[in-house]
């Protein structure tokens, strides 16, 4: 890969080593996940120019940031035509649930541009818990027993709660930025939570509430790419959502991840594939949903049997920061096959190395935190890959600009060695109020 600078557009120009200008790609989003995807796509010999909308200080190292919001489909379309974009890769869920794929398909001048992700109907797998549950029931995919209730059915919902053993799992139906799920031991508190959801605490997302059986086990994230007919599994990962060490404290967007997951051996993954992944892809096909994109299976292993906790219709964050560096295949080539419907001709080459990701966050996160703190020590983390999440460039000085600031990913021969390396670098990088969990992977270590 050679790089040059285009002073007209203020962008890095990326040119592949064969001087083959193949495709301009637009990636949408602005988190650590998008930096990891940009980092990988920028390595493809099929790439001409990479644009990220809106991107962050990290994605600017892999391509050209452009200030377009992820939900501004009209501006995305205009930009795609202007820059001769050959593929759009959608990072976050919101534009997918909002119908970006349908928008491009419905506009004659845009419909030749493949958008990686499901149409709005398929994105309901993430956008509506009730839709996902009905889908799983219809296609025989293992998940917790449940019932859905809408505003006005409070009495029925309370009766259902009374019929279940604690703890009680209540989920607001719609997108609630990971905050729509409560798990409560007391019946009275469950009734209060139900009332709050119905009264609009989660906006429209809570007008319908899914109440489900509590599953006890260990969670992991499995990822697939599908072209609607065929699928390929990507490396699995485990993320750590709680802010505090030992999985304590409030839920966050994710404090770290590891890949591979030691308990997800061949036998377990075969169950995942035959009971969950294949029936999901087949179910989408049977339901007439042309799904071309990533599927994220949030799974729980209950005594060695995988069950689905949730679907997401995009990659996970921070799982992507651990999964992507382990993929040796050309991601852009895989995505082109997703668009062409030729994924059956591809395989995914995966590194045998383990990856560990430690997320540096701002003090106070996931509550309130300060921004604009200068970040030092980035050069000392040379044996790690740094994926920016909430950072900004302040006249050449990287400063904090979000709750999750930066993902520090290390690769090594074992999970323990990768974690050690990531933790050392996480300790070296400095900014006021820095916090990170030093115990990522604690539950997976030998004897842990």
Binding residues for ligand GLY, rule: CB under 6 A, are 239, 254, 312, 316-317, 319
User: Would you count residue 393 as binding ligand AMP (CB under 6 A)?
Assistant: no
Hey, what are 334's tokens? 């895989």
Separation CA 185–CA 301 (nearest Å): 21
* Binding partner selected for residue 317 from ligand GLY, ligand AMP, none, CB under the kind-specific 5 to 8 Å limit: ligand GLY
CB of 412 to ligand AMP, least distance (A): 27
Q: Which is nearer to ligand GLY, 114 or 254 (CB)?
A: 254
* Binding partner selected for residue 254 from ligand GLY, ligand AMP, none, CB under the kind-specific 5 to 8 Å limit: ligand GLY
CB proximity list for 419: less than 8 A, separation 6 or greater: 258, 356, 358, 410, 440, 441
Site for ligand AMP in 141-170 (CB under 6 A): 144, 169
User: Would you count residue 363 as binding ligand AMP (CB under 6 A)?
Assistant: no
Q: Which is nearer to ligand GLY, 59 or 312 (CB)?
A: 312
* Binding partner selected for residue 319 from ligand AMP, ligand GLY, none, CB under the kind-specific 5 to 8 Å limit: ligand GLY
Site track for ligand AMP across 291-320, x = CB under 6 A:
-------x----------xx----------
Q: Tell me how far CA of residue 104 lies from CA of 88, 114, 144, 199, in angstroms.
A: 10, 8, 36, 36
Q: If residue 36 lies in a helix (H) or strand (E), which one and from where to where?
A: helix 32-41
* Binding partner selected for residue 22 from ligand AMP, ligand GLY, none, CB under the kind-specific 5 to 8 Å limit: none
- Check: CB of residue 215 under 8 Å from CB of residue 296: no
Stretch that binds ligand AMP, among 95-103, 154-162, 213-221, 350-358 (CB under 6 A): 213-221
**Long-range contacts (CB closer than 8 Å, 24 or more residues apart) made by 159-166:** 160/211, 161/187, 161/190, 161/191, 161/194, 161/211, 162/187, 164/211, 164/213, 164/214, 165/214, 166/214
Stretch that binds ligand AMP, among 209-217, 315-323, 407-415, 428-436 (CB under 6 A): 209-217
The SS3 assignment for 92 reads: coil
Separation of CA 341 from chain center: 23
User: Would you count residue 247 as binding ligand AMP (CB under 6 A)?
Assistant: no
Q: If residue 64 lies in a helix (H) or strand (E), which one and from where to where?
A: strand 64-65
CB of 223 to ligand GLY, least distance (A): 10
User: Would you count residue 239 as binding ligand AMP (CB under 6 A)?
Assistant: no
* Binding partner selected for residue 144 from ligand GLY, ligand AMP, none, CB under the kind-specific 5 to 8 Å limit: ligand AMP
CB of 430 to ligand GLY, least distance (A): 26
* Three-state SS letters, 301-334: EECCEEEEEEEECCCCCCHHHHHHHHECCCHHHH
Separation CA 241–CA 57 (nearest Å): 24
* Binding partner selected for residue 181 from ligand AMP, ligand GLY, none, CB under the kind-specific 5 to 8 Å limit: ligand AMP
- Check: CB of residue 224 under 8 Å from CB of residue 208: no
If we measure between CA atoms, which residue out of 410, 248, 391 comes closest to residue 322?
410
User: Would you count residue 181 as binding ligand AMP (CB under 6 A)?
Assistant: yes
Number of residue whose CB is nearest ligand GLY: 316
β-bridge mates for residue 143, sequence order:
308
β-bridge mates for residue 29, sequence order:
54
CB of 55 to ligand AMP, least distance (A): 26
User: Would you count residue 13 as binding ligand AMP (CB under 6 A)?
Assistant: no
CA R_g for the chain: 22
User: Would you count residue 99 as binding ligand AMP (CB under 6 A)?
Assistant: no
CB of 238 to ligand GLY, least distance (A): 10
Q: Give the single-character DSSP code of 206.
A: G
* Binding partner selected for residue 239 from ligand GLY, ligand AMP, none, CB under the kind-specific 5 to 8 Å limit: ligand GLY
If we measure between CA atoms, which residue out of 171, 222, 159, 178 comes closest to residue 197?
171
User: Would you count residue 173 as binding ligand AMP (CB under 6 A)?
Assistant: no
* Binding partner selected for residue 169 from ligand GLY, ligand AMP, none, CB under the kind-specific 5 to 8 Å limit: ligand AMP
Separation of CA 438 from chain center: 22
Separation CA 395–CA 57 (nearest Å): 11
User: Would you count residue 219 as binding ligand AMP (CB under 6 A)?
Assistant: yes
Separation CA 314–CA 117 (nearest Å): 7
Q: Which is nearer to ligand AMP, 46 or 309 (CB)?
A: 309
Q: Which is nearer to ligand GLY, 49 or 437 (CB)?
A: 437
Q: Which is nearer to ligand GLY, 59 or 357 (CB)?
A: 357
Of 75, 105, 215, 302, the residue at the interface with ligand AMP (CB under 6 A) is 215
Which residues are near ligand AMP by CB under 6 A?
Answer: 144, 169, 171, 181, 183, 212-215, 219, 298, 309-310
């Amino acid at each position: 890969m050679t790089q040059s600078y285009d002073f007209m557009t203020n962008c890095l120009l990326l040119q592949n080593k064969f001087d083959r200008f193949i495709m301009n790609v637009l990636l949408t989003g602005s988190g650590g996940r998008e930096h990891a995807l940009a980092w990988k796509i920028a390595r493809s010999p099929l790439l001409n120019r990479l644009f990220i909308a809106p991107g962050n200080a990290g994605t600017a190292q892999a391509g050209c940031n452009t200030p377009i919001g992820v939900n501004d489909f009209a501006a995305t379309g205009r930009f795609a035509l202007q820059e001769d974009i050959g593929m759009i890769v959608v990072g976050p869920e919101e534009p997918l649930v909002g119908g970006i794929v349908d928008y491009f398909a419905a506009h004659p001048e845009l419909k030749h541009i493949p958008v990686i992700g499901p149409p709005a109907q398929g994105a309901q797998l993430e956008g509506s818990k009730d839709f996902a549950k009905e889908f799983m029931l219809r296609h025989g995919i293992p998940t917790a027993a449940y019932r859905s209730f809408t505003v006005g059915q409070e009495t029925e919902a309370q009766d259902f709660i009374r019929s279940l053993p604690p703890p009680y799992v209540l989920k607001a139906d719609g997108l609630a930025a990971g905050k729509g799920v409560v798990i409560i031991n007391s019946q009275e508190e469950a009734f209060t939570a139900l009332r709050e959801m119905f009264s609009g605490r989660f906006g429209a997302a809570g007008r319908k509430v899914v109440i489900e059986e509590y599953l006890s086990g260990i969670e992991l994230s499995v990822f697939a790419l599908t072209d609607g007919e065929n699928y390929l599994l990507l490396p699995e990962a485990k993320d750590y959502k709680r802010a505090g060490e030992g999985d304590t404290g409030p839920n966050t967007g994710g404090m770290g991840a590891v890949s591979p997951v030691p308990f997800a051996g061949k036998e377990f993954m075969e169950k995942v594939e035959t009971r969950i992944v294949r029936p999901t892809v087949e179910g989408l096909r049977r339901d007439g949903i042309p799904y071309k994109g990533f599927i994220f299976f949030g799974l729980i292993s209950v005594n060695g049997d995988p069950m689905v906790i949730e679907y997401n219709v995009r990659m996970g964050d921070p799982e992507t920061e651990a999964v992507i560096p382990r993929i040796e295949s050309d991601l852009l080539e895989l995505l082109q096959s997703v668009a062409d419907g030729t994924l059956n001709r591809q395989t995914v080459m995966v590194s045998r190395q383990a990856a560990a990701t430690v997320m540096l966050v701002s003090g106070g996160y996931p509550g309130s935190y300060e921004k604009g703190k200068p970040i030092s020590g980035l050069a000392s983390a040379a044996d790690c890959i740094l994926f920016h999440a909430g950072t900004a460039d302040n006249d050449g000085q990287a400063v904090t600009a979000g709750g999750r600031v930066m993902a520090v990913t290390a690769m090594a021969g074992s999970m323990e060695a990768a974690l050690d390396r990531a933790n050392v670098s996480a300790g070296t990088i400095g900014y006021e109020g820095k916090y990170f969990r030093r115990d990522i992977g604690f539950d997976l270590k030998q004897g842990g």
